Amino acid sequence: MYRAILFDLDGTLTASAEGITKSVQYALLKLGIDEPDLKKLEGFIGPPLLDQFMNAYGMDETTARQAVVYYRERYEEKGIYENEVYPGVRELLKALKAQGYQLGVASSKPVFYVKQILERFGLTGFFAVIEGSQMDGRRTSKGEVIQEALKNLKMENCREQTVMVGDRKHDVQGAREAGIDCVAVSYGYGSVQELQQANPVMIAPAIEGVQRFFL
């Protein structure tokens, strides 16, 4: 029986594609790469930015780090606000908290941004811990973020009672690395095929499915 639930942010709690993809587009343009199709850039939602710039565009690490700098230029000014909470999320969190679950956030996004977003939407009070990566590039993998959240929730020795909820294969894989289960949601930015191949405990097509699973 689960006692603690960790949520991903982008694609799980909030619909953040516009702000992320437009900021990636801006960064690429600064490096001389014109990518007009924002849909192609949705692969940047979820994995660490540095890795994705290197993997998707064949950048070396130095160039990819500069791309991250350019990304943050636009993201901090505009992108962070091009974002909205999915319908039903607030009600889900309220119901889970009322049932006694400990709730947390574990995101690959820098925790500096994660806290700003949750505060902006009035969601901070639902969570006992809020974890993410560091601005200097430390703790970027999902597994590392989850480990930090487990430590701060004091659930390191109760991993079978903790579960991750996320929308990408990185969430499932990170949870597995940290020794906890993962419930995947297919309303976010990962395809059903991607999630099925990652093999989570279950795949919920909507917020209501998450609520039924836990309540």
Q: Which of 207, 214, 163 is nearest to 7 (CA)?
A: 163
Beta strands in 87-128 (DSSP E): 102-110
Q: Which active-site residues does the annotation give?
A: 8
Q: How many helices (H) and strands (E) does the chain have?
A: 9, 8
* Contact predicate 12/191, CB 8 Å: no
* Contact predicate 46/168, CB 8 Å: yes
The rounded distance, in Å, linking the Cα atoms of 59 and 74 is 20
The rounded distance, in Å, linking the Cα atoms of 96 and 174 is 23
**Helix, strand, or coil here: 85?**
strand
Output the six-digit token pair for 172: 């499932």
Phi, psi of 59 (to 5 degrees): -75, 150
